[in-house]
Every structure is written in structure tokens, then in C-alpha cells.
Amino acid sequence: MIFHIAEEKDWQRVMQDEGQEVRYEAPSFKSEGFIHCSEKHQLARVANARFQGREDLVLLTIDPEAVCAEIRYENLEGGTELFPHIYGPLERQAVSDARPFRPGSNGLFSL
């Protein structure tokens, strides 16, 4: 499984859509051409680096086998650690779980 941290309002819009082929497009897809994801061991670090203190997030658990778009493991910032990136919209049915993702009282995320 891979994971994506989404804004709750964006995911709620996807869940309210009644269409057969409902897809989620993160803001990064529109601006960068892919959806940022993480493996489980990367989640807390990514959340704390990019979303510290945010209370409006949802954690999506994604089955890579159910994603139609290409998934590339890469590091575009020049580091050696690879992160999964989805190069296309994410189908709602590829998300096996979506739950609120809130930081602790100190504003930091943990699993």
C-alpha cells in the first residue's frame, strides 16, 4: 500500500460525486503532473515537514495494483530516498481507506 495526504474538502468532493469513474486530482497533479505519495515508513516525516499543525487532512490508503496511472518511485529533489508518485488521476476505487489525519496536541503527526 501507498499513502497520500489530502485536504478533507477535496476528498469529500470526490466522495459526493455519483459518477461511475470518479477520480481525485490533488493540487500537485495540476501544478506538477503527479500526485505525491509516501510509503508507510515515510508518512510521519512527510506530514510533519509539509503539514505540521493542519487539522483539515485525510489520509488515503491506496492499493497500487488498482491504480490505472503509472506509479514512479523517484526523488525529484536530488536525494536518494525514493517516493511513489502517481502520474495521473487517482480512481476512487483504488482507495481502500480514507480517515481523518490529525496531529497531536504539539502539532506533530505520528502513526
Q: Provide the sign of the torsion angle of the four alpha carbons 26, 13, 50, 104, taken in this order.
A: negative
Give yes or no for residue 98 having a pLDDT over 70: yes
pLDDT the model gives residue 42: 96
pLDDT band at 61 (very low <50, low <70, confident <90, very high): very high
pLDDT band at 78 (very low <50, low <70, confident <90, very high): confident
70-74 vs 83-87, strand pairing mode: antiparallel
| CA angle, residues 10, 15, 17, in degrees to nearest 5 | 100
Instruction: Provide DSSP, 8-61.
Output: HHHHHHHHH---TT-EE--HHHHHHSSEE-B-GGGHHHHHHHHHTT--SEEEEE
Q: Which of 23-27, 61-65, 70-74 has the lowest mean pLDDT?
A: 23-27
pLDDT band at 38 (very low <50, low <70, confident <90, very high): very high
**Cα dihedral value 16, 20, 26, 28, nearest 10:** -160
pLDDT the model gives residue 19: 64
Average of per-residue pLDDT values in the chain: 92
Nearest C-alpha neighbor of 2 from the set 84, 93, 91: 84
Query: Domain 2-101 maps to which CATH number in 3.20.170.20, 2.170.150.20, 3.40.50.11270, 3.40.50.300?
Result: 3.20.170.20
